[in-house]
């Protein structure tokens, strides 16, 4: 099975003749917030929403425990140069106070768009709606067919759910979403200092110096919260116990399949 759903993993893992595999990964759901328009042009609003999400609970109810909390860093610990990301505690009172400081004493009413595929987008959106309500975020979740979402919302909308697999390198992850000319830049964050750090790291041969540059890039990203990344999803797969050397990478891609063999005994 190339993909096992969270709801099926325990049952499959306990089935006779089956070997289930769980691999920690950098696959994530993210909340996209356009920063060239209100209300997310104010970093305090983005920070307030970040504090209004109970991440461990999301892991429990959406991933059924088969994942980890994430704290707005696109890089999971599996990346070579990922830094230890500070945890963001669920604190609706502090989030509400920050909204007041940002000029929203009555809170914010806003629509969050989610595609119906995969279902995890909608699941996270609905959970965030409930979690963020005490912080002053009155969120209406609109779920739409995936083709409509791609045509009308993705890379255009103000507030919507994204979903991305892990990339092979830090450079690939940042140039996919966060640099000013990223392939799928959808927040209008446009940070010149961040761009230079990523570009310099790409050209730096010394691993220690490259690590310092990527650390600075991550610290800048965390300080400005271009995305909310609340959870990392484990990769789940399964095979018969007679299948030898079947492995899966955290990228959720399948390598060395030519080395897989079958025990006919």
Tally of structural domains, the chain: 1
Position 177 in a domain: yes
- Domain enclosing residue 166, as ranges: 6-254
Do residues 142 and 94 lie in contact, with contact meaning Cβ atoms separated by under 8 Å?
no
- For the chain, the maximum distance between any two Cα atoms, rounded to a whole number of angstroms, is 70
pLDDT class for 265, splitting at 50, 70, 90?
low
Position 259 in a domain: no
Examine the pLDDT at 255 and tell me if it is beyond 80: no
Position 45 in a domain: yes
Position 95 in a domain: yes
Position 192 in a domain: yes
Residues β-bridged to residue 20? 238
Position 265 in a domain: no
Only one residue has tokens 């991305």, namely 164
Can you tell me whether residue 264 is helix, strand or coil? coil
Position 264 in a domain: no
Rounded to the nearest angstrom, the gap between the alpha carbon of residue 27 and the centroid of all alpha carbons in its chain is: 6
Residue 222's CATH number: 3.10.105.10
Tens digit of each residue's pLDDT (9 = 90 or more) over 137-157? 999 999 999 999 999 999 999
Position 219 in a domain: yes
Tens digit of each residue's pLDDT (9 = 90 or more) over 71-86? 999 999 999 999 999 9
Tens digit of each residue's pLDDT (9 = 90 or more) over 18-34? 999 999 999 999 999 99
């Amino acid at each position: 099975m190339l993909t096992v759903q969270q709801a099926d993993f325990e049952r499959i893992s306990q089935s006779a003749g089956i070997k289930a595999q769980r691999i920690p990964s950098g696959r994530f759901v993210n909340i996209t917030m356009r920063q060239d328009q209100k209300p997310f042009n104010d970093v305090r609003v983005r920070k307030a929403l970040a504090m209004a999400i109970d991440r461990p609970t999301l892991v429990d109810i959406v991933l059924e425990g088969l994942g980890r909390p994430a704290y707005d860093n696109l890089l999971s610990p599996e990346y070579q140069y990922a830094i230890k990301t500070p945890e963001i505690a669920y604190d609706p009172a502090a989030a509400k106070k920050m909204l007041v400081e940002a000029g929203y004493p009555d809170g914010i009413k806003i629509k969050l768009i989610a595609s119906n595929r995969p279902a995890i987008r909608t699941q996270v959106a609905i959970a965030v709606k409930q979690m963020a309500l005490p912080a002053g975020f009155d969120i209406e979740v609109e779920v739409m067919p995936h083709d409509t979402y791609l045509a009308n919302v993705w890379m255009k909308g103000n507030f919507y759910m994204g979903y991305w697999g892990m990339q092979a390198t830090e450079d690939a992850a940042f140039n996919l979403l966060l640099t000013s000319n990223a392939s799928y830049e959808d927040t209008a964050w446009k940070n010149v200092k961040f761009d230079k750090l990523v570009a310099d790291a790409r050209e730096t041969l010394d691993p220690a110096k490259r690590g310092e540059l990527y650390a600075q890039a991550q610290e800048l990203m965390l300080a400005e919260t271009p995305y909310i990344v609340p959870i990392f999803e484990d990769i789940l797969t399964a095979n018969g116990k007679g299948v030898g050397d079947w492995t899966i990478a955290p990228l959720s891609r399948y390598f060395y399949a030519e080395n897989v063999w079958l025990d006919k005994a």
